Amino acid sequence: MSRPARIERKTKETDIALKMELDGDGAWSGSSGIGFLDHMLELLARHSLMDIELKATGDLQVDMHHTVEDIGICLGQAIDKALNERKGIRRYGSALLPMDEALAEVSIDLGGRPYFVYEVQLPSPKSKIGEFDVELLEEFFQALSTHARMNLHIHLRTGSNLHHIAEALFKAFARALDEAKSPDSRVKGVPSTKGSL
């Protein structure tokens, strides 16, 4: 099975080309210009078993916000495009994932209606991992959820180390997405009593 997607987005703030295979091997290549985000995207690819190829440049001389958000937009659009009519998928996915002291819980509904809940209490809202603003994680997932037409709930149950928190969030999201996007041979058409998503 192959469900590919290509997305290009060019604005005055960013220039992004993204290639994705929903049913891949977990391969990652490319660069966002933000080392920590690249690390998180590699985790996302590996644990969701999507192949992601990214080329992105942005106005990092301003800050990372536009680049992080626009990559979230492009990834969401790619997921939406690859899912097509969303026929034969499980639709729902969830994961409770530990990363040392951090424990993240993510639930997903690929039902076509975007909604986003983000309950992540950070040690400080202006925390940084190296030069990366941790508050941008919320911006990334918000953009992805909206443009993937995904109901996404993200909760941090415990966590004190920022790197562990971020990894737990991305890995839990990846695992939940892998479950939700997976084909189910028992599902005929779209997984909804409405007959469409």
pLDDT in tens, 3-42: 999 999 999 999 999 999 999 999 999 999 999 999 999 9
DSSP 123: S
Residue range 172-197: mean pLDDT, rounded: 87
pLDDT band at 175 (very low <50, low <70, confident <90, very high): very high
Say which residue, 88 or 188, is predicted with more confidence. Answer: 88
Residue 136 has pLDDT above 90, yes or no: yes
Alpha helices in 84-161 (DSSP H): 136-147
Instruction: Answer whether 128's CB lies under 8 Å from 119's CB.
Output: no
Q: What is the pLDDT of residue 93?
A: 98
Strand 51-58 and strand 92-99: the pairing is: unpaired
Give the angle 41-52-75 at the CA atoms, nearest 5°: 70
pTM, two decimals, is 0.94
Which one, of 53, 62, 189, 47, lies nearest residue 106 by Cα? 47
Q: What mean pLDDT comes out for the span 102-124?
A: 95
Residue 153: pLDDT band (50, 70, 90) is very high
The whole-number pLDDT of residue 29 equals 98
- Residue 158, pLDDT score: 96
Q: What average pLDDT does the segment 171-185 reach? A: 96
| Domains, the chain, with CATH or none | 4-181 (3.30.230.40)
Lowest mean pLDDT among 140-149, 172-181, 184-193: 184-193
Distance CA 34, CA 57 (A): 9
Using a pLDDT cut of 90, give the percent of the chain over it. 89
Q: Give the type of residue at 120.
A: V
Provide mean pLDDT across the span 137-157. Answer: 98
pLDDT at 72 over 70: yes
At 61 the pLDDT is 93
Query: With 0-12 CB in 10 A as exposed, 13-18 as middle and 19+ as buried, what is 137?
Result: buried
What mean pLDDT do residues 87-107 have? 97
Question: How is residue 103 annotated by DSSP?
Answer: E
The HSE-up count of residue 102 (CA atoms within 13 Å, CB side) is 23
Give the β-pairing of 28-31 and 51-58: parallel
* pLDDT > 70? residue 60: yes
- pLDDT of 98: 98
Q: What is the predicted pLDDT for the residue at 125? A: 67
